[in-house]
Amino acid sequence: MVGMENGASPEVVAKEAEAALADLAGRDLTSLTDAEIEQHAIATAELLRLAEAAHVAALARLDSSGAWAPSGARSAAHYIAWKGHLALSRAKALQRCGRRLRDLPVAAVAFAAGLLTVEHVRLLAHAHSKAPDAFAADEPRLVELARTQLFSQLETIIRYWIHHNDPDGAEVDAASAFTARRVDCSETFEGTVVLDALLDPLTGAIVARELARLEQELFEADWADARDRLGDAATAHDLARTPKQRRADALRIMAERSAAKPPDATEARVLLQVLIGHGSVERLCELSNGTVLTPGQVLPVLDRADVERVVFDGPSKVIDVGVRRRLFTGGTRTAVHARDRGCTHPSCDEPLDRCQIDHIIPWSLGGLTTQANGHDHCRFHNLEKGDRPPPPAA
C-alpha cells in the first residue's frame, strides 16, 4: 500500500502513509465486500506500524534533546504520557524502544519502514543484550525472521538463539527460575484458601497439563449433564461450572488422588524424543507445550525418562520411529507430531499438546492414515471442514 519495502525515504513513506490514511478514514466500511474489508484491515495495520515508528522516532529525539525538561515532567515518557494522553506504561515502552534501536541498526531501518513493531524490537534487543557480537552478525537474519514469522514463533527462535550463543547465561537464568519457585497457601478470615504459585517451566508444564486434562474430563461431564437436561438447546451458559470452577475442582481431585496413592505405586515417566537428521532440530530442546528448555533443565528427569528416537529424511518426512524402553505404539502419530510440532494452520500458534492429528484427505473419502496424509491441527482448526488441499508428496 505504502512504500515500506521499496527503499523510499522516511519522508516519502510518511507522506504516502498520510495520504493512505486520509483515503481509508473516509470509507464506509459497511459498503465493502469481504475481500475489500480484509484488505482494509491489513492496510490499517500497516499504517498503525508506520505511525508507531514515527512516534518512537519523535519520542527518541525528544528524549535525547531534553526538550521535555522545562515542562517539569520527570522524563520524556512522563511528558508524552501527559501531553499525548497515553498510559505511562505504554509511553515508557515506546521510550525504551527508541533507546534500544540505537544498538540495532538493521532493526532500526526495518522499524522505521513499518516492518517491525515495538514488541519485535523488545525481543531483538533482549537477544542483543545476551551476546552483542553474535547478534551483530545475525541481526539481518533475525530481522527477516521477525518480519515473516508469527510473533510466538519468533519468541521461540530468540530463545534458541540465546541458548546457542550464551549457553552459560541461559543455564544461569534457568537455575534462577528454578530457585525462585514457590507456592503460597493462605487462609482468609472466612476460611477460604488463597493459592499463589510461581513454578519453573518443567514443573509448571506438568501441573498445567494435568489440570487441563482433568478440567476437560469435568467439562465433558458437565456438557453431558446439560444435554441430558436440555437436549440440543444446551449451550456453554447452561453448564454447571465455569472453567475456573472446574480447574479448582480438578486441583482438589489431584490432591485426593495423591493422598490415596499407594507408597509403592509406579511413578509416571517422562518421554524424551531425540530428533535426528533435520538441521532445524540440531539443538531442539522443548516441551510439548512449546516451552524452550536448556539442557540443564532436562538433566534432572533423565533417570525417570523413556527415550525415543525419531529419524528425519529431509525437513518433512520421518523415516524411522524407534522403540522406547517400554512398548510404544502409534509410530505414525508420533511421526506427524514430531514433524509438525504444533498446529499447521498458518495463522495459529497452538502448541503440540493442544493439537489433534487430522486426515488431509478425509478417511471417508478414501484418505489413508499415513504420515503424508496427516497433519496437526488445534481443536478449532480440526473442526473446520472446508476444502481440503491435495495430500503432500510422500
Residues 317 and 340 in one domain: yes
What pLDDT is stored for residue 329 in this prediction? 37
pLDDT band at residue 121 using 50, 70 and 90 as cut-offs: very high
Residue 75 has what DSSP assignment? S
Question: Does position 155 have pLDDT exceeding 60, yes or no?
Answer: yes
Same domain, 285 and 197: no
196 bridge partner residues: 184
Q: Which of 260, 279, 304 is the last residue of a domain?
A: 260
Asked whether the predicted pLDDT for residue 327 surpasses 50, the reply is no
Q: What is the DSSP string of 285-347?
A: -B-TTS-B--HHHHGGGGGGEEEEEEEESSSS-EEEE---SS----HHHHHHHHHH-S--STT
Instruction: Indicate if 293 and 357 belong to the same structural domain.
Output: yes
Pick the last residue of a domain from 165, 195, 230. Answer: 165
User: Does residue 284 sit within a domain?
Assistant: yes
Q: Going by C-beta distance under 8 Å and a sequence separation of 6 or more, which residues neighbour residue 388?
A: 360, 361, 362
- Asked if the structure places residue 92 within a domain, the reply is yes
- Average per-residue pLDDT for the chain: 83
Same domain, 229 and 276: no
Using one digit for the tens of pLDDT, what is the confidence trace for 262-317? 888 877 777 776 665 555 444 568 777 778 888 888 888 877 777 766 666 655 55
- pLDDT bin (cut points 50, 70, 90) of residue 94 is very high
Residues 280 and 249 in one domain: no
The three cell numbers locating residue 162 = 540465546
Q: Is the pLDDT at 389 greater than 50, yes or no?
A: no
Residue 117 binned pLDDT confidence (cut-offs 50, 70, 90): very high
In this model, does residue 198 exceed pLDDT 80? yes
- pLDDT tens figures, 26-78: 677 778 888 888 888 888 888 889 889 999 999 999 999 999 999 999 999 99
Residues 248 and 317 in one domain: no
Q: Which amino acid is at 390?
A: P
Q: Which three cell numbers, joined as nine digits, stand for 219? A: 467439562
Confidence (pLDDT) at 377: 84
Whole-number Cα distances in Å, 330 to 290, 321, 322, 336: 21, 9, 11, 10
Domain boundary among 165, 198, 219: 165
**Is pLDDT at 388 greater than 50 in this prediction?**
no
DSSP state of 200: -
**Does residue 155 share a domain with residue 28?**
yes
Alpha-carbon dihedral sign for residues 247, 248, 253, 256: positive
Total domains in the chain come to 3
Beta strands 305-312; 318-321: pairing state = antiparallel
Judge if 19 and 156 occupy the same domain: yes
Domain that holds residue 277: 270-383
Q: What's the mean pLDDT in 216-238?
A: 93
Decide if 265 is inside a domain: no
Residue type, 339: R
Residue 101 lies in a domain: yes
Give residue 368's pLDDT band: very low, low, confident or very high (50, 70, 90). Answer: confident
Closest CA to 5 of 156, 113, 78, 150: 113
Q: What is the mean pLDDT of residues 336-356?
A: 81
Considering the domain architecture, whether residues 30 and 58 belong to the same structural domain is answered as yes
Q: Is residue 4 part of a domain?
A: no
300-308 contacts at long range (C-beta below 8 A, 24 or more positions apart): 300/202, 301/202, 301/270, 301/272, 302/272, 304/267, 304/269, 304/270, 305/269, 305/270, 305/271, 305/272, 306/269, 306/270, 306/271, 306/272, 307/272, 307/273, 307/274, 308/271, 308/272, 308/273, 308/274, 308/334
**Cα 283 → chain centroid:** 19
Largest Cα span, the chain: 75
Q: Is residue 15 part of a domain?
A: yes
From 44, 4, 42, 38, select the one nearest 24 (Cα to Cα).
Answer: 44
366 and 283 fall within a common domain:
yes
Q: What is the pLDDT of residue 390?
A: 43
Q: Is residue 3 part of a domain?
A: no
Are 143 and 36 contained in the same domain? yes
Q: What is the pLDDT of residue 170?
A: 92
Using only C-alpha atoms, the chain has a radius of gyration, in whole angstroms, of: 26
Q: Which of 99-103, 196-200, 279-283, 352-356 has the lowest mean pLDDT?
A: 279-283
Is 18 a domain residue?
yes
Q: Which residues pair with 320 in a beta bridge?
A: 311
Same domain (yes/no): 59, 128: yes
Query: Is 50 exceeded by the pLDDT of residue 360?
Result: yes
pLDDT for res 98? 95
